[in-house]
Amino acid sequence: MAVDIDVWLERIGGFLSGAFGPRFAIGALIGLMDDITPFQCYEFVRDNKDLFPDLTEDDWRKIREFMQKARLQDIDIEQVRKQFKRRRPDLLQVIVNQPQGEVWLTNQITRLRVKLGIEPGS
């Protein structure tokens, strides 16, 4: 899943502001998964793969800089689940129906928070 971060950031640029920041940030990041099929999601969970393996450190830097206006510290697992349910219920079903799915999703949120500079990495 190769994503052109510059194009993606340009596409979402006008929407990130104010009280909608955290919800929009989550939605935008879930939008990176638009091309992921349920079977690919199943493989991600089954094999414990990262959601965004193709993003470089430079891509993450660009995303961090772009999203500084959002209250990213507010991103939590329940908000992400709500966005998945709204935007990609097919992927949410795949995640919750696997024994390790909830742990995998929590780990992905933690990784996302670390990559975005919200919490310290290990």
The string of pLDDT tens digits covering residues 25-53 is 677 667 777 788 999 999 999 999 987 77
User: Quick one: three-class SS letters along 58-116?
Assistant: HHHHHHHHHHHHCCHHHCCHHHHHHHHHHHCHHHHHHHHCCCCHHHHHHHHHHHHHHHC
What is the percentage of the chain residues whose pLDDT exceeds 90?
A: 21
Residue 91 falls inside a structural domain: yes
pLDDT confidence of residue 7: 67
Residue 66 falls inside a structural domain: yes
For 7-29, what is the mean pLDDT? 59
Residue 103 falls inside a structural domain: yes
Q: Tell me how many domains the chain contains.
A: 1
Residue 23 falls inside a structural domain: yes
Residue 121 falls inside a structural domain: no
In terms of residue numbers, what domain contains 69?
5-115
Residue 93 has pLDDT above 60, yes or no: yes
Side-chain-side CA neighbours of residue 116 (13 Å)? 23
Residue 95 falls inside a structural domain: yes
CA distances to 59, 61, 63, 64, 100 from 6, rounded to whole Å, are 8, 11, 9, 13, 33
Residue 122 falls inside a structural domain: no
Residue 108 falls inside a structural domain: yes
Whether this prediction's pTM lies above 0.75 is answered by no
